[in-house]
Every structure is written in structure tokens, then in C-alpha cells.
């Protein structure tokens, strides 16, 4: 295995294994700051029918004061796709309410039949320097949505060993901004935290 390719894959995978990290959304009106919680749980990719060598993660994102009502639940599948690059495939989950909280037993009951890949929404990570990977998704209006009158999503992200910075924005067919942090701001910053004791 190429050393650079291997290290890119390992770093992305290590950050995605974070169980609980804190988020602050930047750029809201009058300097308002919104906290969100992101849970990412490693799940058995091969049990779901993905090829050996790929890694799968359950993602759950919610406002900090509404953790039981996540606004995003996904399965993400990580694949090495080149020298210094990795691709994170996005799968929507049919009726994901039983998975809220990322309970291990509930996640083991998940089947591939409940997953639907969102082609055009995959994130491609490229190594920018020793500890930074830059990701993007939705080029050419390829990531479709109907959320809040938007028709497509563009996403940018930076990944380091300690942080994940993510900017997701929705636009309509005219290119008008419909949701997400206002253009020009950095987006959401998730900082690595120790998993709380049970």
C-alpha cells in the first residue's frame, strides 16, 4: 500500500470514529451561536454487505438541546480512492427513528435494504498537507435536495486530527441561498471530545 494513500485513509477513519463531538455554528444573525451534537459510531460494513476494506459509520446530528430529535441520520461508507484521497459515500436510511441515540443493539439490526445511496453527494477528501484533508461534495449541482425550497447542496469541509469544519449550503435553481450559514462564513466547527463515561 502506498504510504501517503494509507495515511490519508487512516486519518479520515480516526476522526470519523469520534463518538461525541461538540459543534458551534458560526455566522448566525447578531453573532448568535448554536450548539449541535454529532455522534459517529463505527458499524460493521461487511455485515451490511459492503466490500472488505471499506469502513461504515452511523452518523446522527442534532441541536444540543434536542438530542432526541436529530435532524440528520445517515450511514457513511469510507473508501480509499487514490493516492492521498478517500471518498465518503452518503446513504440515507429508511425510517431511522429506531436508531436515535446510536444504540449498539439497534445499529446491529440495521440492514442494507434500508439504505439508499445518494449519488452526487459523496465527499471526496484530498490531502492538503501533513495534518489537513480538504473535502467537497455537490460540484456541478450534483447533490439534490428539496429541503426548505432548495434544489441542490454544496458542501465543503476541512479535517484535522482534532477538528472537522463543515459548511453545508442549500441553493435553489436560480442560485439563491436558501439555508445553511450565510455565504462567506466558515461553517460548523466540531471539536474532538472524549467519549462520556456510561
pLDDT in tens, the chain (198 residues): 344 445 545 555 444 433 333 333 333 444 455 677 788 889 999 999 999 989 999 999 887 778 899 988 999 999 999 888 999 999 999 999 999 999 989 999 999 999 999 999 999 999 999 999 999 999 999 999 998 899 999 999 999 988 888 888 999 999 999 988 777 777 778 887 765 544
Rounded Cα distance between 15 and 123, Å, is 15
| pLDDT at residue number 128 | 95
pLDDT of residue 194: 61
Domain 3-192 CATH class label: mainly beta
Q: What share of the chain is helix, strand, coil (3-state, %, to 5)?
A: 20, 45, 35
At 4 the three-state DSSP class reads helix
Q: Give bridge partners of residue 158 from the DSSP assignment.
A: 134, 165
Structural element, H or E, at residue 100: none
Residue 3: the pLDDT is: 44
How much is the pLDDT for 151? 97
> CA 49 to CA 38: how far, in whole Å?
25
Amino acid at each position: 500500500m502506498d504510504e501517503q494513500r494509507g495515511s490519508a485513509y487512516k486519518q479520515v477513519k480516526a476522526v470519523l470514529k469520534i463518538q461525541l463531538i461538540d459543534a458551534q455554528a458560526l455566522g448566525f444573525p447578531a453573532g448568535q451561536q448554536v450548539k449541535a451534537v454529532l455522534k459517529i459510531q463505527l458499524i460493521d460494513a461487511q455485515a451490511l454487505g459492503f466490500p472488505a476494506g471499506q469502513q461504515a459509520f452511523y452518523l446522527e446530528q442534532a441541536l444540543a438541546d434536542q438530542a432526541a430529535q436529530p435532524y440528520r441520520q445517515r450511514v457513511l461508507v469510507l473508501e480509499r480512492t487514490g493516492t492521498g484521497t478517500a471518498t465518503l459515500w452518503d446513504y440515507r436510511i429508511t425510517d431511522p427513528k429506531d436508531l436515535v441515540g446510536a444504540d449498539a443493539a439497534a445499529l446491529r439490526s440495521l440492514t442494507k435494504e434500508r439504505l439508499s445511496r445518494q449519488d452526487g453527494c459523496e465527499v471526496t477528501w484530498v490531502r492538503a498537507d501533513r495534518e489537513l484533508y480538504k473535502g467537497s461534495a455537490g460540484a456541478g449541482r450534483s447533490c439534490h435536495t428539496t429541503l426548505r425550497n432548495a434544489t441542490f447542496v454544496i458542501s465543503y469541509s476541512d479535517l484535522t486530527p482534532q477538528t472537522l469544519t463543515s459548511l453545508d449550503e442549500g441553493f435553489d435553481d436560480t442560485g439563491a441561498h436558501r439555508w445553511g450559514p450565510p455565504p462567506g462564513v466558515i461553517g460548523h466547527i466540531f471539536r474532538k471530545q472524549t467519549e462520556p463515561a456510561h
